[in-house]
Amino acid sequence: MFDTTEQILDQLRAGEDGRVEFKEVRLGARGVLSPDTEALAGELVAFANAAGGGVFLGVADSGAVAGIAISHVDAVERWIVNVATHNCEPPIRPVLRKILLPDAAGDDRQVLLAEVPRGLYVHRTSGGRYYVRVGSTKRDLTPPERARLFQERGREYVFDEQAVLTAAVDDLNRHRLEAFFGRSPTIPWLDLLRNTRVTFRDENGVDRPTVAGLLTFGTEPADFLPSASIEAACYRGERLSSDDLVHAERLAGPVSDQIDAGIAFVAQFMQPPPNTRSSAGGADARYDLEVVDEAIVNAVAHRDCAISGSKIRLFLFADRLELYSPGKLPNTITLDEMPYRTFTRNQLLVSFLSRIRSKRTGQVFLESRGEGVRKILQDGEAHSGRRPTYELFGDELRLTLWAKSSTRTA
């Protein structure tokens, strides 16, 4: 948006307009006091619903540079990302720039510029307000305007179909694509990738991998989606304590590799029941690996990818396995209803996983029958004697699988 400092200074002198908003930042002991989260979310949403724009934080309404204390810049930057992620629906991904600008006395002050691209979807604040930028102010979209904007933007928001604007087609693994689509498709590769929503052409005409495309076919998705991995850890006791940590690792790569690695992790580190000689995955194993497989596949396929900074976590204890997956249940489903109702948060990702075969088992990861939760509960209880449990903790769903405890001698 701004290539030079001179362009920025010219904009400050000219004042706010349809592409620029100024916000002075006031800080308190607990963080940012002003602007409040809803106010900033409103500005980001307004620009995204229009043609895009930028918010200068650390600049007064008059265009005077007030700045942000250097010691607080990183905290303000994290706050902006948090607001854009959690107070804008769907989340907005602004480009943040740190800029040194002179104040009235000629001294350089730190300013943050949050550049918002034109949205691919229709955005609102977490408070339910749909804004659009008109001139130097934002205003609520009227119902007819909102309907037209939904029609103009073409489709409802589906996060796993959103383009990853920092990634390129070259970040997709060609061998994986050929294994999935064949080496000689009947149409040009880019057309095939667009048609299957592996990629999406952005507003500048550049093809970008979608979230699902990158998770499935990317060489290293976590390079662009930092939360797209599994944190796995094994503890010798029954509590989450670094003193009892046996082994920990990050399971990354495409989601198919993550799933297989998760099963391998459990198979390697689960302890046999007391007084038994057990082979991994056998009747006397601590866990039914088919149940573990189902649980990890469900966590990977249905996690809320829009929640940044929150990974799938797999903890293996002496008496249980805990699997944490980011994302609340949809409004229409309760914990009690999970075994009997289905909901697919990432439909595109699920469609890919239903056609990809595990290197470990040779079977497709998802058969799309909606039986996963029932299998986990029923087969998990049949194996260990204790029914697995699902619990919600804020924006995180936890599954607990109990280890088999046997006193049979070999």
pLDDT at 369: 59
Query: If you ran DSSP here, which 8-state letter would residue 119 be given?
Result: P
pLDDT at 127: 83
Read off the pLDDT of residues 288-300 as tens digits, 9 standing for 90 and up. Answer: 999 999 999 999 9
Mean pLDDT in residue range 50-79: 93
Mean pLDDT in residue range 205-217: 94
Indicate the pTM of the whole model.
0.65
**Winning range, highest mean pLDDT, from 178-187, 201-210, 364-373:** 178-187
Place of tokens 């999406």: 200
pLDDT at 276: 54
Mean pLDDT in residue range 14-38: 90
Mean pLDDT score of the chain = 88
pLDDT at 191: 92
pLDDT at 388: 97
pLDDT at 408: 47
Angle, CA of 365, 366 and 370, to the nearest 5° = 150
- Between 128-137, 186-195, 269-278, 310-319, the lowest mean confidence (pLDDT) is in 269-278
Mean pLDDT in residue range 111-130: 90
C-alpha Rg value of the chain to the nearest Å: 25
Residue 256 falls in which region: left (phi positive, over 0), alpha (psi -120 to 50) or beta? alpha
Calpha distance 134→137 (Å, rounded): 6
Calpha distance 289→130 (Å, rounded): 47
Residue 25: pLDDT over 70: yes
More confident residue, 160 or 229: 229
What are the chain's domains? 5-153 (3.30.950), 159-223 (no CATH), 230-402 (3.30.565.60)
Residue 150: pLDDT over 60: yes
Mean pLDDT in residue range 139-166: 78
Mean pLDDT in residue range 55-60: 94
pLDDT at 409: 41
What percent of the chain shows pLDDT beyond 90?
64
Mean pLDDT in residue range 132-153: 85
The 8 Å CB, 24+ separation contacts for 142-145 are none
123-138 as b/e: b if 16+ CB within 10 A: bbbeeeebbbbeeeeb
Residue 306: pLDDT over 70: yes
Tokens of 321: 């396995």
Residue 112 binned pLDDT confidence (cut-offs 50, 70, 90): very high
Read off the pLDDT of residues 337-382 as tens digits, 9 standing for 90 and up. Answer: 888 877 777 889 999 999 999 998 888 998 755 678 999 999 999 9
pLDDT at 157: 58
What are the backbone angles phi and psi of residue 165, rounded to the nearest 5°?
Answer: -70, -15
Read off the pLDDT of residues 250-290 as tens digits, 9 standing for 90 and up. Answer: 999 999 999 999 999 999 999 765 555 545 566 678 999 99
Mean pLDDT in residue range 210-238: 94
Tokens of 151: 């029609």
